[in-house]
Amino acid sequence: MQGLQPFTFMNLFLRFCFFIFLFFSVSCSREEKKTVSVNDGLKSITLKSLEGKNFSIAELVTGHRASVFYFLMPGCPMCESYSLSINELDKKFSGKGISFSGIFASAYYSDDEINSYRNNFKIGIPFYRDIDSKLAHTLDATVTPEVFILDSTAAVLYKGSIDNLAYATGKTRLEATEFFLNDALENIISGKPVAVKETVTYGCIIE
C-alpha cells in the first residue's frame, strides 16, 4: 500500500489543478459574455432627433474613431456656460474622426425648449432625445453637462466632466485648468489609451 501513496497524491494534485483551471475558465467566459452583452444592449438603444428620425447608438458610433455624447438640459446654467466649449471641441475634432451629439434624457422638456437652447447659444452639434432615459440609465448619467466618449463598439472610453471648471456643486473656478475631454480626445487621435478615464461631474441633476 505504501508504494501507491505517491501515485494517489499525484492524482489528487492533478485533479485539484484541473478544477482550478476549470473555475477560472468559466469565470473568464462569463465575464467576456457579460461585456459583450452590455455593449450589444447599449448599441441597440434608440434615440430620436428633433426632426423626428430614430437613430440607434450603433448607427451613431459606426464609422467614427470615437463618439462624444453630452448629456444636456435646457435652462441648466452649467450647460449654457459650456456652449462655447462644445462648439470649439466640435470644430477642433470633428474632422479627425470624432462625432459629437447632445442628449436630452427627459420627457419634461419640449422640442421648442430644446431648440431655443440650441438657437440661443448657437450650438452646432446634432441633438437627440432620450425620452425614456434608457441611455442615461445604461451609462449611469446623473447630471448635466456630463460627457461620455464611446468607441465604434460602444465601449466607454471616458466619462465625466468636460473640464475642471466646477469643483463642487454650485462652485466654479475663475477658469478651468484641466481639460479632461480635450485631453482624452487628443489621446484617442494619437492612438494612445485614454489617460484619465473617469472624473466627477457637477451640474444639474437629470430629472
Model pLDDT for residues 94-104, shown as the tens digit of each residue? 999 999 999 99
In this predicted structure, the answer to whether residue 34 has a pLDDT above a threshold of 50 is: no
In this predicted structure, the answer to whether residue 142 has a pLDDT above a threshold of 80 is: yes
Structure confidence at residue 10 (pLDDT): 53
* Of 176, 106, 112, 181, the residue nearest 141 (C-alpha): 106
- Residue, of 31 and 122, whose pLDDT is higher: 122
Structure confidence at residue 106 (pLDDT): 83
The pLDDT of 179-188, averaged and rounded, is: 98
In this predicted structure, the answer to whether residue 4 has a pLDDT above a threshold of 80 is: no
In this predicted structure, the answer to whether residue 172 has a pLDDT above a threshold of 90 is: no
The pLDDT of 144-154, averaged and rounded, is: 96
In this predicted structure, the answer to whether residue 26 has a pLDDT above a threshold of 60 is: no
In this predicted structure, the answer to whether residue 121 has a pLDDT above a threshold of 80 is: yes
The pLDDT of 15-29, averaged and rounded, is: 46
In this predicted structure, the answer to whether residue 2 has a pLDDT above a threshold of 80 is: no
The dihedral over CA atoms of 138, 124, 186, 152, expressed in degrees to the nearest 10, equals 40
Structure confidence at residue 11 (pLDDT): 55
Q: Which of 25-34, 61-70, 82-91 has the lowest mean pLDDT?
A: 25-34
In this predicted structure, the answer to whether residue 188 has a pLDDT above a threshold of 50 is: yes
pLDDT averaged over the chain?
86
In this predicted structure, the answer to whether residue 158 has a pLDDT above a threshold of 90 is: yes
SS (H, E, C) the chain: CHHHHHHHHHHHHHHHHHHHHHHHHHHHHHHHHHHHHHHHHHHCCEEEECCCCEEEHHHHHCCCCEEEEEECCCCCHHHHHCHHHHHHHHHHHHHHCEEEEEEECCCCCCHHHHHHHHHHCCCCCCEEECCCCHHHHHHCCCEECEEEEECCCCCEEEEECCCCCEEECCEECCCCCCCHHHHHHHHHHCCCCCCCCECCCCCEECC
Strand partners, 147: 70, 160
Structure confidence at residue 8 (pLDDT): 55
Banded model confidence at residue 28, pLDDT cuts 50, 70, 90: very low
Structure confidence at residue 107 (pLDDT): 82
The pLDDT of 74-86, averaged and rounded, is: 95
